[in-house]
Amino acid sequence: MEIRFAVNVRPKPGILDPQGRAVEGSLGHLGISGVGEVRVGRRIELTVTADDEASARAVVDRLAAELLSNPLIEAYDVEVLEGASSLMSTRA
Amino acid sequence: MEIRFAVNVRPKPGILDPQGRAVEGSLGHLGISGVGEVRVGRRIELTVTADDEASARAVVDRLAAELLSNPLIEAYDVEVLEGASSLMSTRA
């Protein structure tokens, strides 16, 4: 079976986030107020072919921990994107 | 009210994604197979203070289109992260 996942990677609490600060610094120029706590991370979407969802999720967890994030300074979560085949045709 | 949102930004279909290709190129070194269609984008999480959810979402849409993404080459979607105040304490 094919499952499409998303891995969301974000700076851990307390870790400096210069991109988030840059976004906050630009809000005034756009005349936008009321926005705060901006954190900028990465989102990786990928398709896994495996025998079952548990095996596919194990692959994604390993990828997320070893390749897609730096566990010293970043945290991640994994989403299953439902309807993998249709999502692929519109997003891939 | 305060609402926490996530903005997911990804390369549009057909747009070159060198980070996605780099991830795919690293899979063999990790001994991982069955992973494909890798797309690497950004995920921005932020808190908006507004009178209602519609106003808050309008602010996020403007930010996403004008500051957080490049509409020529990137697409975005907006998620409402439920339970904003508890999420902030664990994630911010």
Cβ of residue B54 closer than 8 Å to a chain A Cβ: no
Say if residue B60's pLDDT is above 70: yes
pLDDT interval class at B69 (50, 70, 90): very high
Between A52-56, B14-18, B23-27, the lowest mean confidence (pLDDT) is in: A52-56
Q: Measured between alpha carbons, how far is B20 from A44 in angstroms, rounded to an integer?
A: 8
Q: Mind telling me how many Å the CA of B6 is from chain A's nearest CA?
A: 9
Report CB contact under 8 Å: A45, B32.
no
Residue-wise DSSP of B12-39: PTTS--HHHHHHHHHHTTTT--SEEEEE
Contact call for residues A46 and A4 (beta carbons, < 8 A):
yes
Task: Indicate the average pLDDT of chain A.
Answer: 89
Q: Give the closest of B37, B59, B91 to A88, CB-based.
A: B37
Cβ of residue B28 closer than 8 Å to a chain A Cβ: no
Q: Give the closest of A26, A34, A40 to B44, CB-based.
A: A40
pLDDT number for residue A82: 63
User: What percentage of chain A carries pLDDT values higher than 70?
Assistant: 88
pLDDT interval class at B91 (50, 70, 90): very low
3-state secondary structure of A92: coil
Q: What is the mean pLDDT of residues A8-37?
A: 95
Cβ of residue A45 closer than 8 Å to a chain B Cβ: yes
Q: Measured between alpha carbons, how far is A11 from A34 in angstroms, rounded to an integer?
A: 22
Q: What is the mean pLDDT of residues B33-61?
A: 95
The residue with tokens 């209602």 is B52
Q: Mind telling me how many Å the CA of B11 is from chain A's nearest CA?
A: 9
Report CB contact under 8 Å: A46, B35.
yes
DSSP state of A68: I
Q: What is the mean pLDDT of residues A57-74?
A: 96
pLDDT interval class at B86 (50, 70, 90): very low
Among chain A residues, CA nearest to B74: A91
* Domains observed in chain A: 2-91 (3.30.1280.10)
State the ipTM, two decimals.
0.85
